[in-house]
């Protein structure tokens, strides 16, 4: 019964009692009729209150057991996620822990379509594609690592010269993503001649410290220019200083590229300076799993004091592949062949990378 009906009934009853008081002489009977009306109204109000409480309990139970907000029709017309079913969310991070590159949530960039690949999603505080958060090219560098990331890499480089013994270089690298678009890399390197095995003991004869800085967030400047500075300390030989200007970008969905301009100077001895131009292009075959590509390296060695001892141009070309068997792991391989007399006959680079 509605409240307005209750009020009307109450007024009607009250009016009837008042009229009957003038028509009948028995006052006690009039009072009894009035009390009966009040009791009936009280019972009706009590019944309505219980019904409202039951409805509130039912609504509360439904909210706890099933989400409210989308009707079946709305769910049926909803566009599915291009990445497939939404994976279960990772456990919340404890205070002080960092997000790894594959855990970084995608961000929305106005006026930019991130394509159909998860590795082309924009992530991190610099808005960079996810593929740039890990090394993709072997001879060529691209942009910087996101701040807060930590990666380690183990390199095996085998070079077969046109004359002389095979040279094997083993390199251990740690990459640290710093704020303000900086990246710090630390290297320990060992060399061996005449043995191509990978089982030799660890003995570093070269240490490197590298610092990168990107001029701006991703795609704010065409080519995403990045400065690369490296100091190379050699045991028993003059140290070297290397500078690079890095460029990288996306030519089209699934197509990624990078190019470097390099200058490396010997800080003693003959003060030989080497100039390089390296390039890499990559195509994603399986999103975040397999990429294939092609790399080139053009180098020229200049002897400052004796031009006759300057080296001949070196040109290396070859395919490259990246395989990521685990989210935190990447494996890169590039077998390059020399095209000039100043080039090695063959140079292969193999990298095992792991992100912490």
The domain locations on the chain are: 1-50, 118-355
Out of 45-54, 190-199, 343-352, the most confident range is: 343-352
- If one counts every other C-beta atom within 10 angstroms of the C-beta of residue 76, the result is 8
Q: What is the pLDDT of residue 279?
A: 98
CA atoms within 13 A on the CB side of 73: 0
Report whether pLDDT(44) > 60: yes
- CA-based radius of gyration for the chain: 38
Residue 127's region, left for phi above 0, alpha for psi from -120 to 50, else beta, is left
Q: What is the pLDDT of residue 110?
A: 44
Residue 180's region, left for phi above 0, alpha for psi from -120 to 50, else beta, is left
Out of 13-22, 66-75, 167-176, 309-318, the most confident range is: 167-176
For 230, phi and psi rounded to 5 degrees?
Answer: -140, 135
Q: Which of 29-38, 107-116, 170-179, 291-300 has the lowest mean pLDDT?
A: 107-116
Q: Is the separation of the CB atoms in 257 and 270 below 8 Å?
A: no
Residue-by-residue DSSP string for 7-66: HHHHHHHHHHHHHHHHH-S-HHHHHHHHHHHHHHHHHHHHHHHHHHHHHHHHHHHHHHHS
Beta-bridged to residue 352, according to DSSP, are 154, 331
Out of 36-50, 74-88, 148-162, 184-198, the most confident range is: 148-162
pLDDT digits (tens, 9 = 90+) for 186-236: 999 999 987 655 555 567 899 999 999 999 999 999 999 999 999 999 999
Model confidence at 68, pLDDT cuts 50, 70, 90, reads very low
Collapsed DSSP state (helix, strand, coil) of residue 311: coil
Distance CA 120, CA 218 (A): 12
Distance CA 342, CA 349 (A): 19
Question: What percentage of the chain has pLDDT greater than the value 90?
Answer: 59
For 29, phi and psi rounded to 5 degrees?
Answer: -65, -35
Q: Rounded to whole angstroms, what are the CA distances from 148 to 141, 145, 320? A: 19, 9, 28
The H-or-E segment that residue 154 falls in is strand 150-160
Which CATH class, in words, describes the domain spanning 118-355?
mainly beta
Residue 84's region, left for phi above 0, alpha for psi from -120 to 50, else beta, is left
Q: What is the pLDDT of residue 244?
A: 98
Q: What is the pLDDT of residue 14?
A: 53
Average pLDDT over residues 260-279: 95
Distance CA 123, CA 277 (A): 29
């Amino acid at each position: 019964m509605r409240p307005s009906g209750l009020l009307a009934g109450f007024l009607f009853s009250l009016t009837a009692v008042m009229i009957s008081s003038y028509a009948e002489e028995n006052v006690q009977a009039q009072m009894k009729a009035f009390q009966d009306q009040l009791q009936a109204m009280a019972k009706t109000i009590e019944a309505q209150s219980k019904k409202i409480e039951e409805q509130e309990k039912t609504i509360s139970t439904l909210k706890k057991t099933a989400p409210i907000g989308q009707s079946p029709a709305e769910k049926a017309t909803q566009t599915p996620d291009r990445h497939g079913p939404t994976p279960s969310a990772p456990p919340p991070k404890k205070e002080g822990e960092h997000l790894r590159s594959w855990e970084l949530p995608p961000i929305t960039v106005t006026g930019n379509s991130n394509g159909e690949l998860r590795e082309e999603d924009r992530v991190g505080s610099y808005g960079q594609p996810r593929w740039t958060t890990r090394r993709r090219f072997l001879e060529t560098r691209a942009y910087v690592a996101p701040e807060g990331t930590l990666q380690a890499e183990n390199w095996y480089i085998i070079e077969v010269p046109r004359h002389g013994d095979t040279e094997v270089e083993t390199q251990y690298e740690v990459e640290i993503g710093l704020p303000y678009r900086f990246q710090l890399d630390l290297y320990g390197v060992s060399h061996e001649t005449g043995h191509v095995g990978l089982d030799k003991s660890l003995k570093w004869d070269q240490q490197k410290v590298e610092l990168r800085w990107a001029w701006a967030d991703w795609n704010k400047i065409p080519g995403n220019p990045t400065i690369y500075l490296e100091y190379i300390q050699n045991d028993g030989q003059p140290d070297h200083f290397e500078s690079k200007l890095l460029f990288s970008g996306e030519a089209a969905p699934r197509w990624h590229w990078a190019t470097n301009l390099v200058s490396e100077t010997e800080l003693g001895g003959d003060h030989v300076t080497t100039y390089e131009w390296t390039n890499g292009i990559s195509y994603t075959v399986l999103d975040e799993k397999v990429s294939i590509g092609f790399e080139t390296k053009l180098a020229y060695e200049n002897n400052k004091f004796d031009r006759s001892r300057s080296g001949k141009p070196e040109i290396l070309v070859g395919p490259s592949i990246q395989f990521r068997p685990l989210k935190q792991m990447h494996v890169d391989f590039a077998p390059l062949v020399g095209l000039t007399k100043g080039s090695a006959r063959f140079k292969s680079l193999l990298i095992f990378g792991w992100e912490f």
